[in-house]
Structure formats: C-alpha cells, structure tokens
Amino acid sequence: MSYLTFLLKSSNAHGIHSPFVYELVTEGFYSGKKISGNGKNGLSSKVLTILFKTINHCKSFKLVVYGENSNEVTETIREVGERTKTKLWFFSPMAPVPGGLDLGFICGSNTQSIMKAFEQLHKDVTDQNLFVLPNIHKTPEMEKAWETIKKDPNVTVTIDTYHLGLIFFRKGQAKQDFIIRPYRSFLLDAVLGIRNLWGLLA
C-alpha cells in the first residue's frame, strides 16, 4: 500500500467507534512528543514515536523482542527508553515472563521470518497482550505477513498506522481492522473530510 492510498483509506479519531481504540488514539497517539530515530534496524523516528506512545498509554513495559536482528532492535528500544525515561523490562521469548508478557515486538523482513516470530510469541498470548510489527507496508512480503496476522482467529483488533501495525487479542472485543492516522493535522483532516463527504453525496 502506498502512503497516498493509506491516507485515502485512513481515518482520524472521529471515525472510530470503538471506545478502546478511540482512547488509544486521543490519549496515546495524540499526546507526547516525537521521538528521534535514525532508521537503524528499521526503527525510524515514526516507528519509535508510535511505539513509545503506545507503550506508555497501554502501560506495556514488559517486552519480548523476537525475530531477525532482535538483539540490535532491543538495544535501540532500550536506548530510547533510557533517553525518554521510560522504564522497560526485556525478557527472553524462550522462558515464561513473570506476571505475563505486555508487549511482543516482531522483527522480520519477509513473510516467513515474521510469521515464525508471531507464532513463537503467540504460544502464551492472553487478552492483555499487545504485539507490534514495524514497517508493515515496506515490501509485498511484509504486507502479506500483516494480512495473514489480521486473519488469525485469536486476533481481535488490528491498527494500521502505516509505519507500525498494532495487534490486540482482547476477548469480548468485536473483530475490527482499523487504518488510522496517528497524528493530528487540521489541513489533512479537512481535505480528507471534504473528500469523504463528497463521496457520500456523489
């Protein structure tokens, strides 16, 4: 999906009818500051900003990073955590996490590696877990993995922010897939709002 296609399909907070997701967007995505990043290991400033806003809003401080280059990715996230004074605890995916896992960060550059990491983390998933997958539209392979994950029967809510995909397993939650702009932009909201209204009237 190109970024333009994403924008045309996306909504802001006003297009969300799930209280849980609405709160995440308005109190999480729309708050806080942008986090700088150099794109190393695929962790651009946009990926890191959305990731840390999500971590802080959902209080997901116990992390497992799994997949390709997981050690390097872990160090990048750890460094940003120290810089932003976010207390994070990193655990191995090969052992139970005391009290349960909060967030699983999936590393991968192709469908096979992403699904392998998803399945490994998925073994002990609960409805309180959150998984994230960066750069979901970077390549056709990554888009394929994202679409496969969305269809998993245990996945109830997904949020496509273009730079980062969020995956929830909340029991009792209606299965929904959201495409959301994770920032405020009066001009963009106005332009897309007019376009959507014109589509309804046409």
Question: Of 51, 100, 104, 105, whose CA–CA distance to 80 is shortest?
Answer: 51
pLDDT value at residue 187? 61
pLDDT in tens, 7-32: 888 888 877 888 999 999 999 999 88
Q: Give SS3 for 88.
A: coil
Between the two ends of the chain, the Cα-to-Cα distance in Å is: 25
Question: Of 134, 156, 128, 129, whose CA–CA distance to 146 is shortest?
Answer: 134
pLDDT value at residue 191? 60
- Residues 194 and 8: their CA atoms lie apart, in Å, by 12
pLDDT value at residue 41? 80
- Residues 144 and 74: their CA atoms lie apart, in Å, by 25
Q: Give SS3 for 158.
A: strand
Contacts of residue 53, defined as CB under 8 A and 6 or more positions apart, other chains included, come to 28, 29, 31, 32, 182
- Please state the pTM of the whole predicted model: 0.90
8 A C-beta contact, residue 18 and residue 157? yes
What is the amino acid identity at position 20? Answer: F
pLDDT value at residue 153? 93
Tokens 């990043």 found at: 37
pLDDT in tens, 21-60: 999 999 999 988 889 877 778 899 999 999 999 999 999 9
- CA torsion through residues 163, 103, 82, 96, sign: negative
